[in-house]
Structure 1
Amino acid sequence: MIFEKVLSTINKYELIKKGDKIVVGLSGGPDSVCLLHILSRMKDEWDLEIYAAHLNHQIRGIEAQKDAFYISKLCEEMGITFFIKSINVPEYCEKNGVSIEEGARQLRYEMFSEIKDKTKANKIAIGHNLNDQAETILMRIMRGTGLQGLKGIDYIRDGVIIRPILDIERKDIEEYCKHYKLNPRIDQSNLESIYTRNKIRLDLIPYMKDNFNSNVIESIVRMGNSLRSDNDYLENEALIKFKDISKINSDSVELKINSYTNLHSAIKVRVLRNAIKQILGDTNFIDQRHIDDIIELEDESKIDKVINLPRGIFVYRKKDSIIITNKEIVIEELEFCYNIPSNGFIKIREIGVVIETQVMSIDKYKRSKSDKSCKWFDFNKIEGGIVARNRRTGDKIKLSGGSKKIKDLFIDIKIPKEDRSKVPIIADSQGILSVGNIRNSENYKIDSQTKEVLKVSFKKI
């Protein structure tokens, strides 16, 4: 009965095709042993190549050694090629600042991928069952999840990770192992309420069964399955939008801010996950709270802000975009300083700008047409020579409301950080005349006493 049910799941979700090469994650417990035995039974008819992979976490001492011995014997009896690797998981978790559960999972999947590449396999089979599905959904609810999390564990992920026994209850798996005298190993730590999943398995679900619904596992899984098709539809729509509003580079994804902010929130969340997946290959350890942090960046007050996400992801809010990348963006500060003639022009090649100047009488100034692209100053108020230079720490300009730091001015008018050193500062020996063609200083304003006027214009090279 279980064998037929697993075959039904395999066919329904197209988990396995004839000729596949499959790496099976083999802990030695009932789930993985049952999975290996079923795939072994399929091996000849489906022309499968089966490999088993076992990780000794160096947590359980002599019991872990017994696990490895059991796996060796089991695989030899089935004629399955097997791989055993030993890693100090507690040491790894302490070094990387992750929980034992998370660290063990990371290392297992890394090992599975290594063996997959080594054997040229195309699938990795994991022994998650129906109870695992219910426990996972409950865990995600408690962490705060969306529809993506509520649908539970996928039967197949990225066309590689498959879970053929996901529809089978744990008690039926144990009965299967008993029937075929497989004698799986029992990890005693699974019987202790020390990890989150174990607490859900040993305390929460039994309490829910006793007090609310004796079929709570089936109910939770049924809910997850009913939400799966809704989520799949939204995922497809989000993928279309993602491709439409994103610019994908080798190590970054840039989202057009105007198009992005207009998206429905359900699509927006998925667009962000697609962007992260484009960089990392998956979204493991990226929680809803991390997505919420990115969403907060869309407000204009967040321009030039950056947030750090797990696994080395940086998210930058720029004026016209949100950039998601695994490379830190280092802003290059340009340095330049040019003397400006009273009548003539200079080229500032560092920023691609030509500055033209002309001194004229006040009468000619009054007769000339107003040109908003030019800046006008009282030439007689200028002390010493005039220079065009990059901004400097502590620079201030006198405005109608008082003195203002150039840095604060850039922030107020939302000049992106990477563009600030490209704005030429026009200054004399006593202060700043103008910040590019953005703002003029009140100290050089034309008034009733002005006799000569300096005209300054800015043009792109």
Structure 2
Amino acid sequence: MVYEKVKQTVFQNNLIEEGDGIVIGLSGGPDSVCLTHLLKEISKDININLYAVHLNHKIRGIDAYLDALYVMKLCEKLDVPCFIRAVDVPKYCKDEGLGLEDGARELRYKIFDEVKTRVGANKIAVGHNKNDQAETVLMRLMRGTGIHGLKGMEYKRQDGVIRPILDLRRDEIEKYCIDNNLNPRIDSTNLEAIYSRNKVRLKIIPYMKEEFNVNIVDTIVRMSNNIKSDSDYIDSQVDKEYELCAEKKDEGVQISVKELEKIHYSIKSRIVIKAIKEILGDANHIEKKHIDDVLDLISEDKKHKKINLPRSLIAYRLADIILISDKILKEENLEYEYSLEPGESIYIKEIGKTFHTNILNAKEFNREFKKGVQYIDLDKISGKLTLRSRRQGDKIKLLGGTKKIKELFIALKIDRDDRQYIPLVVNQDVVVAVCGYRLNSDYKIDENTEKILEFTLK
């Protein structure tokens, strides 16, 4: 029955195909021993090549060497090639600043990948079971995970990791080992409530079984499968929206702000995650607060800002896009110039802002100055008006005397990177206004003004 159940899992989820080379993580415990034996049985029905890999963590003294000896004898009996590596995991974890569980897991998969490459295999099989799935979901729940975390472990990952016995309960695995006289090794540390997973396994789940639901493992996994179905649908919508609003470039992934604004938060947060995965390959160590920081860049007042993310990523808010990149952008000085007719509006594409103008009658002007809005005497304009970027040597006449634009920016404490995004209103070669900041004193309105040019930058 167990064999048929696993075959159903394998073929329903397309875990194994003809000609696959499969590296098996074989610790010597019940789960991995059951997995190895079952895959050997499956290999009689379908042409696959199996390779077992065992890591001696150097944590359990003589027991660890006995585990390795057991693995060697089992592989010899099953006629499965076996690779054994001994690594001082506690030392590795100390050197790398990792916890024992995380460090051991990282080392295992690193060795699995090495053997996979060496033998030309294309998949890695690990012995996670239904109980492990329930424990994983509970642990993620306690860490405050989202819907993606609650769907639990996948039957297969994009990197080739497969979980053929994910539908087996632990008691089914133990019975299978007894029925087939496999005599797996028992890791005594699994019986001690010293690690987070062990505490969930030995304390929380037994308590939930006794006090609430004897079938709690099946219930949690059923919930996880339902969530997975919903999550997969959401991911399909993310893929559609991503095609519309995101594009991979040499410098990173560009996301259209205009398109992003239209999308529900649930989708756009996943678009950011997908962009990060496209750059790094995964989104490890990227938390909700980092995603929210990126989405805050949508706001107009965040233009030309940037934020630092984990793993050397940077999110830039440019004119009409958010760029997520692992590169430090060296922004070139922007150069632009537009002819300006009083009363018209101009979109300055280089900085993603619109310059609005309006002609007012001085007699009707109530002199209630608005924030961000500037006024000049239109009658004092002679000849051509232009709207352009700052140039070397530009000056403006103020009440206290003439000042270089560069010195004005320094005095106003305007960041060097932001200065190129501030346009100048120029009459012939004379700077009339620094948009949003200062007016040339010769062009200010007075008691003789008849026509006023009102302007603002948005």
Change (3 A) 1:2 1:323: same
Change (3 A) 1:9 1:394: same
| In structure 1, distance between residues paired with 2:445 and 2:84 | 86
| In structure 2, distance between residues paired with 1:326 and 1:444 | 48
Would the aligned equivalents of 2:387 and 2:423 in 1 still touch at CA under 8 Å? no
Query: Identity over the aligned pairs, expressed in percent?
Result: 42
Residue pairs, 1:141-180, within 5 angstroms: 141-158=141-158, 160-180=160-180
Query: What's 1:3 paired with?
Result: 3
Using the TM superposition, name which of 368-377 and 315-324 deviates more: 368-377
Would the aligned equivalents of 2:28 and 2:67 in 1 still touch at CA under 8 Å? yes
Query: What's 1:267 paired with?
Result: 267
Would the aligned equivalents of 1:23 and 1:123 in 2 still touch at CA under 8 Å? yes
1:395 matched to 2:396? The reply is no
Change (3 A) 1:280 1:379: closer
Change (3 A) 1:317 1:100: farther
Among 354, 368, 373, the residue aligned to 2:387: 373
Residue pairs, 1:12-411, within 5 angstroms: 12-158=12-158, 160-250=160-250, 252-303=252-303, 304-309=305-310, 311-327=311-327, 329-331=328-330, 352=335, 366=380, 368=382, 371=385, 373=387, 391=406, 395-396=410-411, 404-407=412-415
Query: What's 2:365 paired with?
Result: none
Using the TM superposition, name which of 240-249 and 438-447 deviates more: 438-447
For residue 441 of structure 1, report the CA deviation from its aligned partner. Answer: 4.6
Would the aligned equivalents of 1:15 and 1:155 in 2 still touch at CA under 8 Å? yes
Would the aligned equivalents of 2:396 and 2:431 in 1 still touch at CA under 8 Å? no
Using the TM superposition, name which of 224-233 and 1-10 deviates more: 224-233
For residue 354 of structure 1, report the CA deviation from its aligned partner. Answer: 8.0
In the TM superposition, what whole-angstrom CA distance separates every residue of 1:316-353 from its partner, at most 9, and x where no partner exists?
Answer: 444533332333x2546x7xxxxxxxxxxxxxxx6546
> Runs of 5+ in structure 1 lacking a partner?
335-349, 357-363, 397-403, 408-416, 427-431, 449-461
Change (3 A) 1:258 1:379: closer
> Runs of 5+ in structure 2 lacking a partner?
340-377, 447-458
Would the aligned equivalents of 2:432 and 2:443 in 1 still touch at CA under 8 Å? no
In the TM superposition, what whole-angstrom CA distance separates every residue of 1:334-381 from its partner, at most 9, and x where no partner exists?
Answer: 7xxxxxxxxxxxxxxx6546899xxxxxxx984735736389988798
For residue 383 of structure 1, report the CA deviation from its aligned partner. Answer: 7.3
Change (3 A) 1:12 1:219: same
For residue 111 of structure 1, report the CA deviation from its aligned partner. Answer: 1.9
For residue 308 of structure 1, report the CA deviation from its aligned partner. Answer: 2.1
In the TM superposition, what whole-angstrom CA distance separates every residue of 1:203-241 from its partner, at most 9, and x where no partner exists?
Answer: 000010111111100100111112222111111110111
Would the aligned equivalents of 1:134 and 1:217 in 2 still touch at CA under 8 Å? yes
Query: What's 2:419 paired with?
Result: 420
Using the TM superposition, name which of 252-261 and 128-137 deviates more: 252-261
Using the TM superposition, name which of 75-84 and 299-308 deviates more: 299-308
| In structure 2, distance between residues paired with 1:425 and 1:85 | 68
Give the alignment's Cα RMSD to 1 decimal.
3.6
For residue 435 of structure 1, report the CA deviation from its aligned partner. Answer: 7.9
In the TM superposition, what whole-angstrom CA distance separates every residue of 1:139-187 from its partner, at most 9, and x where no partner exists?
Answer: 1111112221111111111172111100000111011112212121211
In the TM superposition, what whole-angstrom CA distance separates every residue of 1:18-38 from its partner, at most 9, and x where no partner exists?
Answer: 211111111111111110111
Query: What's 1:414 paired with?
Result: none
In the TM superposition, what whole-angstrom CA distance separates every residue of 1:89-108 from its partner, at most 9, and x where no partner exists?
Answer: 33333344332222222222
Secondary structure in 1 aligned to 2:83?
Answer: strand
How many residue pairs get aligned? The number is 402
Change (3 A) 1:62 1:424: farther
| In structure 2, distance between residues paired with 1:26 and 1:251 | 42
Q: One-letter code of the match for 1:23? A: V
Secondary structure in 1 aligned to 2:385?
Answer: coil
Using the TM superposition, name which of 10-19 and 51-60 deviates more: 51-60
- TM-score under structure 1 length normalisation: 0.76
Using the TM superposition, name which of 231-240 and 68-77 deviates more: 68-77
| In structure 1, distance between residues paired with 2:398 and 2:309 | 52
In the TM superposition, what whole-angstrom CA distance separates every residue of 1:1-54 from its partner, at most 9, and x where no partner exists?
Answer: 111100011111111112111111111111111101111112232111001112
| In structure 2, distance between residues paired with 1:78 and 1:131 | 27
Change (3 A) 1:106 1:291: farther
Change (3 A) 1:191 1:447: same
Change (3 A) 1:270 1:382: closer
Secondary structure in 1 aligned to 2:53?
Answer: strand
In the TM superposition, what whole-angstrom CA distance separates every residue of 1:50-92 from its partner, at most 9, and x where no partner exists?
Answer: 0111222232233222222221221122111122223333333
Change (3 A) 1:352 1:2: same
| In structure 2, distance between residues paired with 1:330 and 1:259 | 23
Would the aligned equivalents of 1:23 and 1:116 in 2 still touch at CA under 8 Å? yes
Q: One-letter code of the match for 1:189? A: T
Q: One-letter code of the match for 1:322? A: I
Secondary structure in 2 aligned to 1:23?
Answer: strand
Would the aligned equivalents of 1:22 and 1:49 in 2 still touch at CA under 8 Å? yes
Q: One-letter code of the match for 1:25? A: G
Would the aligned equivalents of 2:55 and 2:86 in 1 still touch at CA under 8 Å? yes
Would the aligned equivalents of 2:137 and 2:149 in 1 still touch at CA under 8 Å? yes
Secondary structure in 1 aligned to 2:44?
Answer: helix
| In structure 2, distance between residues paired with 1:55 and 1:252 | 38
| In structure 2, distance between residues paired with 1:354 and 1:224 | 58
Would the aligned equivalents of 1:378 and 1:446 in 2 still touch at CA under 8 Å? no
